[in-house]
Amino acid sequence: MASNLRLRLGTRASPLARWQAQWVAGRLAELGIETVLVPISTRGDQQRTGPIGAIGGQGVFTKELQRALVDGEIDLAVHSLKDLPTDVVARLALAAVPARGPLGDVLISRNGERFDELPREAAVGTGSLRRRTQLWHARPDLRMEDVRGNVETRVAKLRDGAFDALVLAEAGLERLGLAGEITQRLPLSLMLPAVGQGALGVESRADDKDTLTLFAPLNDAETQCAVAAERSMLAALRGGCLAPVGGWGRVIEDRLHLSGVVLSADGTRRVFAELSGGVTDPVALGQAVAAELFSQGAGELIEGARALR
């Protein structure tokens, strides 16, 4: 173990990231493991304006944490798993995936309208290409407005009249005690979540066997299986976490089911695939769903979206 006294837990400094880190610290405390939080500023935190893709793309919220792990400055990092790239980082391992929170997206509207009730050409705040393409597929009349900042900042902008509605992850609102702001939980038939959305990832050094063993009780086998399939699909698609790709893995009666969707940048084209398999090989299921999506033209859609970033 890198620290004989207490583990150094690296986290972004945003309120949601600190909540997530403190939640993990609390679970470790129940196991008799002491931690100290180490705030680390990421590139995504430092540059809070403009599209994410314009400031470095995937990994903007995780690279500095991973670098601190590799350099031995911290002993573990807590990530929102949807932000963690699927590329393998030498010397690091995903030590635990706790039980998933709510995985879907929600609508918060300024005047209480549900999605179908939003006025024509309503302004919807979201910085996510995955969200805006799925929204456009259902409502091409909507105006999408880029929005950055933490959850509270985005909600405040909505209340100040910057948008007619916002789309956010339900998990973040729930964890921050803001679930009461939700107007509508968007159905998965309309909006598949980001790969890993609602789940946390606890990352550590691969050679720190003592620490890895300590994290084992935090792991939830069904969540780990589901997100492994989702991440395998995304890796095979070579889309990255900013691509217009959604995924939903779930274990039902000892069978793993995976749904995947890819859209064009303007939302006009949508390809969808859904397969099931055994829980023992989630990676293979993810690759199979990706192959089915490729057969429907997903590669062209992803490349087209990447060219616009």
Q: pLDDT at position 3, please?
A: 41
Q: pLDDT at position 88, please?
A: 84
Cβ pair 195, 230 in contact under 8 A: yes
Q: What percent of the chain has pLDDT over 70?
A: 92
pLDDT at residue 61 tops 60: yes
What mean pLDDT do residues 81-95 have?
91
Quickly name the fold that domain 105-185 has: D-Maltodextrin-Binding Protein; domain 2 (3.40.190)
Local structure of residue 5 (DSSP, 8 states)? S
Between CA 145 and CA 126 the distance in angstroms is 6
Cβ pair 211, 72 in contact under 8 A: no
Of 39-53, 68-82, 215-229, which range is least confident? 39-53
Q: pLDDT at position 206, please?
A: 94
The Cα-based distances of 213 to 10, 36, 74, 99 in angstroms read 18, 19, 17, 18
| pLDDT per residue as tens digits for the range 234-257 | 999 987 778 899 999 999 999 999
Q: pLDDT at position 43, please?
A: 59
Q: pLDDT at position 289, please?
A: 98
Residue positions annotated with a catalytic role:
83
For the chain, where do the domains classified as CATH 3.40.190.10 start and end? 7-98+199-219, 105-185
Q: pLDDT at position 149, please?
A: 86
What mean pLDDT do residues 176-196 have?
97
Cβ pair 11, 24 in contact under 8 A: no
Helices and strands (DSSP H and E) totals, the chain: 10, 13
pLDDT band of residue 5 (cuts 50, 70, 90) is low
Between CA 278 and CA 219 the distance in angstroms is 19
Q: pLDDT at position 55, please?
A: 40
| DSSP code string of 114-176 | -GGGSPTT-EEE---HHHHHHHHHH-TTPEEE---S-HHHHHHHHHTTS-SEEEEEHHHHHHT
φ and ψ at 148, to 5 degrees? Answer: -125, 175
pLDDT band of residue 41 (cuts 50, 70, 90) is confident
pTM of the predicted protein model: 0.90
Q: Give the type of residue at 160.
A: D
Question: Which CATH number describes the domain made up of 7-98+199-219?
Answer: 3.40.190.10
Q: 145 has which bridge partners?
A: 125
Helix 221-237 and helix 282-295, axial crossing angle in degrees, nearest 10: 40
Q: pLDDT at position 191, please?
A: 98
Nearest to 78 by CA among 68, 89, 86: 68
| pLDDT per residue as tens digits for the range 125-142 | 998 999 999 999 999 999
Q: Which residues lie closer than 8 Å to 272 by C-beta, 6 or more apart? A: 259, 260, 261, 293, 296
Average pLDDT over the chain, rounded to whole? 91
Q: Give the type of residue at 135.
A: L
If one compares 58 and 216, the residue with the highest pLDDT of the two is 216
Between CA 196 and CA 1 the distance in angstroms is 28
For the chain, where do the domains classified as CATH 3.30.160.40 start and end? 234-307
pLDDT at residue 303 tops 80: yes
Domain 234-307 indexed as CATH 3.40.50.300 = no
